[in-house]
């Protein structure tokens, strides 16, 4: 593979040089226009090829403007009548014309009479095309877009593409520069599998680019039009090929084979009071097979709230221990790390393995003792926060690293983790269901296991919308539940960007509820509290010494209290869909029926109404994440700055997921059949990577 990287790096193929030249080399593009075109993301001729029209104007020749729905763009043949220059400076210059059925006027402002007399001589016939409107009952075409002699009528396109514009760039010069860029387009060898191309009825690349700039009707502008679909596939293919190269490189990185005996895992499975779901068993098998292979595992385990990721992760950790090594599981917060410890401790005892917790709070002798035991291999499984990244934390034989909630861990930290165990397998867990398209675009280099079943016995959660004017009814409902021995969360709103204002909201609600329900009943937890206070509040709630926990979103991930059956989310409309779904998942963990009350401030915006309604109607995290993606767009969903998402010019990640799926399997198959990309199709695929400016990614691959 190193060979192919060097060859790909060696430089852009000569055939593409004309597309990567200066914009000013194109007809009608001077330095100023070139500068303005940057507003369209256009910096070189290649970019113009992928700047596609978003609409079109029908300019088919009609008999007459009579009977047309006005205002409308029309093309007609006319006989030119009298010219009527303006009576005063700056007035309208009018020219009477007559088509096959009716007389109307052409109107110009700030026009030169001598120019118009030459363009439209009285008594002659011309083809005119432009927007026709009624003014005082008379049809007028103001500033026609096209005026040509009958012999040149074919110069008026029957369907004219409309391009996106920016300051200083208008349609005509832009169309001219695109036509100039099209002339520089080379014929490229085919990188698409011939069967795939035939089946889809896709044109060659060269033909496809010409076709998208010469649409014949609105149908040609649809994403499903063969030429457009082909170019979208090309973008997906280049991106997925880059991810597949990264994956192939990583798989070539020497891993270590961890063959589990099944001894510890079988003990745990026998002790479980329930049977794992099919999805859990399938994921365990996939991970076990990865760990036993000589390649380094790089797998994403995604599962909805309550789908049982922890058990799957623990089985993987036990495989590492059975193979004579160690495992580490990292959580983004101390609350979550302690939660994992409490959840895993009974399982570790069943298995007979040593499990320990390491956080930033471990100090002095206790810390030294833990680190020594870890280095000697006496601690077999370590649970921790990012404290495990510190220099003095050394393992005896780290086989598996599990990272919980990937987006909270940066790439740099994942690399640090890699150094702790040079060849350790990596499993990333996320409780946020990722829409299929985002998973393909962002995690296409990873293997993915999905937990899409809920364990048996889980009760559905009843979700209701309630206006905050009815808060007294909510408190009454709480009082009744507390009397029955139940517990409740009360999550306070995101007031704004400021954590301080969120805090005020939480503290105010805490005081009110304490006054209404009793001081012993309510506890407060938020991110600004000293750790000891926060832990004490959580501990009281976990132990049942407190019945209501008022919190900010600090409890969003991972907290597990089976007796908590009510979740109140105040100002629910200010939260994102995925976050609301995560919060709701804190209840419904025991056998009792649970309720989630979404309190909102009226009136709700249309978007707010849609979000809360979707949540009320489904508990499927994947459906919810897809809706969130449609409503907010990919960048917003995971934060544009750190999204790392590709910016496609033709392809649409959100509506063409199936096409990206095909591109992913094609890219992986191509690399499997031709790992060095030296076949005719492989060489063409390299040209595609350069054309789609994936050269930087390829350089990164060769380094990383």
Render 259-327 in DSSP notation, one character per residue.
Answer: ---SHHHHHHHHH-SSPPPHHHHHHHHHHHHHHHSSBPPEEEEEE-TTS-HHHHHHHHHHHHHHTT-EE
Residues of the chain with pLDDT under 50: 1-9, 407, 410-412, 414, 495-498, 557, 635-644, 697, 700-704
DSSP tag of 355: E
Q: Measuring CA to CA, which residue among 610, 576, 617 is closest to residue 596?
A: 617
Cβ-proximal residues to 107 (8 Å cutoff; 6+ apart), any chain:
92, 93, 94, 95, 140, 141, 142, 143
Both tokens of 199, joined, read 């089946």
Cα dihedral angle (25, 28, 29, 33), rounded to 10 degrees? Answer: 180
DSSP tag of 377: T
Which pLDDT score is estimated for 596? 94
Both tokens of 134, joined, read 């009624």
Tokens 């029926």 found at: 593
Query: C-alpha 396: how far from its chain's center?
Result: 39
Which pLDDT score is estimated for 413? 52
Domain with CATH 2.40.50.140 in the chain: 60-156
E strands in 367-446 = 381-384, 398-404, 425-430
SS3 assignment, position 434 = coil
CA distance 445 to 45: 31
In angstroms, what CA-CA distances link 211 with 46, 48, 112, 528? Answer: 16, 14, 38, 59
Which pLDDT score is estimated for 696? 53
SS3 assignment, position 586 = coil
DSSP tag of 246: H
Which pLDDT score is estimated for 431? 75
Which pLDDT score is estimated for 170? 85
Q: Which helix (H) or strand (E) holds 39?
A: none
What's the CATH fold of domain 60-156? OB fold (Dihydrolipoamide Acetyltransferase, E2P) (2.40.50)
How many residues are recorded in the chain?
Answer: 704
Q: Measuring CA to CA, which residue among 428, 419, 425, 570 is closest to residue 490?
A: 570
Tokens 């709480």 found at: 478
DSSP tag of 695: H
Which pLDDT score is estimated for 9? 39
For the range 130-137, what are the long-range contacts, defined as Cβ-Cβ under 8 Å and sequence gap of 24 or more?
130/73, 130/74, 131/71, 131/72, 131/73, 132/65, 132/68, 132/70, 132/71, 132/72, 132/73, 132/74, 132/104, 133/70, 133/71, 134/70, 134/71
What's the CATH fold of domain 461-618? Rossmann fold (3.40.50)
Which pLDDT score is estimated for 636? 45
CA distance 178 to 165: 13
Which pLDDT score is estimated for 2? 38
Domain with CATH 3.40.50.300 in the chain: 461-618
CA distance 300 to 260: 20
Query: C-alpha 133: how far from its chain's center?
Result: 44
SS3 assignment, position 660 = helix
CA distance 321 to 172: 69
- Angle ∠(379,383,386) on CA atoms, nearest 5: 120
Q: Are 551 and 526 in contact (CB under 8 A)?
A: yes
pTM for this one? 0.67
CA distance 35 to 13: 26
Which pLDDT score is estimated for 411? 44
């Amino acid at each position: 593979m190193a060979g192919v990287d060097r060859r790909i790096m060696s430089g852009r193929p000569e055939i593409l040089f004309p597309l990567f030249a200066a914009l000013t080399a194109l007809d009608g593009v001077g330095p100023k226009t070139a500068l303005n075109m940057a507003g369209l993301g256009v910096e070189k001729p290649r970019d113009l090829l992928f700047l596609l029209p978003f609409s079109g104007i029908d300019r088919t020749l009609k008999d007459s403007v009579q009977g047309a729905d006005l205002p409308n763009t029309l093309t007609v043949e006319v006989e030119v009548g009298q010219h009527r220059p303006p009576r005063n400076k700056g007035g309208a210059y009018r020219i009477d014309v007559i088509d096959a059925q009716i007389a109307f006027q052409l109107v110009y402002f700030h026009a030169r009479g001598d120019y118009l007399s030459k363009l439209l001589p009285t008594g002659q016939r011309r083809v005119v095309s432009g927007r026709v409107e009624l003014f005082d009952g008379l049809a007028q075409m103001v500033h026609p877009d096209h005026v040509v002699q009958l012999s040149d009528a074919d110069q008026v396109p029957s369907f004219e593409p409309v391009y996106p514009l920016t300051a200083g760039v208008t349609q005509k010069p832009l169309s001219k520069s695109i036509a100039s860029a099209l002339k520089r387009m080379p014929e490229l060898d085919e990188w698409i599998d011939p069967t795939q191309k035939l089946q889809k009825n896709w044109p060659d690349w060269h033909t496809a680019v010409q076709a998208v700039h010469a649409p014949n009707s609105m149908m040609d502008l649809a994403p499903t039009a063969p030429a457009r679909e082909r170019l979208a596939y090309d973008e997906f293919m280049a991106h997925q090929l880059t991810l597949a190269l990264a994956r192939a490189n990583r798989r070539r990185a020497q891993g270590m084979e961890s063959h589990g005996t099944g001894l510890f895992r079988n003990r745990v499975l026998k002790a479980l009071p329930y049977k794992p779901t099919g999805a859990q068993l399938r994921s365990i098998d996939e991970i076990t097979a990865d760990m036993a292979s000589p390649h380094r595992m790089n797998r994403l385990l995604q599962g909805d709230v309550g789908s049982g990721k922890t058990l799957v992760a623990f089985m993987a950790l036990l495989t590492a221990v059975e193979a004579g090594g160690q495992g580490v599981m990292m959580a983004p917060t101390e609350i979550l790390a302690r939660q994992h410890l409490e959840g895993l401790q009974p399982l570790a005892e069943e298995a007979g393995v040593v499990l320990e917790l390491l956080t930033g709070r471990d100090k002095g002798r206790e810390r030294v003792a833990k680190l020594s035991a870890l280095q000697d291999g006496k601690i077999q499984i370590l649970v921790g926060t990012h404290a495990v990244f510190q220099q003095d934390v050394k393992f005896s034989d780290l086989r598996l690293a599990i990272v919980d909630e990937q987006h909270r861990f940066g790439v740099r930290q994942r690399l640090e983790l890699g150094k702790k165990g040079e060849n350790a397998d990596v499993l990333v867990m996320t409780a946020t269901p990722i829409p299929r398209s985002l998973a393909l675009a962002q995690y296409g280099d990873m293997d993915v296991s999905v937990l899409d079943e809920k364990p048996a016995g889980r009760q559905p959660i009843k979700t209701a919308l309630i206006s905050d004017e009815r808060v007294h009814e909510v408190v009454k409902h709480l009082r009744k539940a507390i009397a029955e021995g139940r517990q409740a969360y009360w999550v306070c709103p995101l007031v704004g960007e400021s954590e301080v204002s969120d805090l005020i909201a939480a503290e105010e609600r805490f005081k009110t509820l304490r006054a209404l329900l009793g001081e012993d009943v309510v506890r407060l937890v938020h991110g600004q509290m000293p750790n000891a206070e926060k832990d004490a509040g959580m501990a009281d709630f976990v132990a049942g010494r407190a019945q209501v926990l008022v919190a900010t979103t600090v409890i969003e991930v991972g907290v597990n209290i089976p007796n908590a059956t009510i979740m109140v989310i105040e100002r629910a409309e200010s939260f994102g869909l995925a976050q609301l779904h995560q919060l709701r998942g804190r209840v419904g963990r025991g056998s009792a029926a649970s309720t989630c009350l979404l309190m909102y401030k009226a009136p709700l915006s249309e978007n707010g109404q849609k979000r809360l309604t979707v949540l009320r109607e489904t508990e499927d995290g994947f459906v919810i994440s897809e809706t969130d993606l449609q409503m907010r767009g990919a960048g917003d969903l995971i934060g544009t700055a750190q999204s790392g998402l590709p910016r496609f010019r033709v392809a649409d990640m959100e509506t063409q997921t199936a096409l990206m799926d095909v591109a992913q399997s094609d890219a992986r198959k191509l690399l499997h059949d031709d790992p060095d990309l030296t076949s005719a199709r492989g060489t063409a695929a390299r040209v595609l990577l350069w054309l789609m400016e994936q050269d930087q990614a390829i350089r990164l691959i060769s380094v990383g």
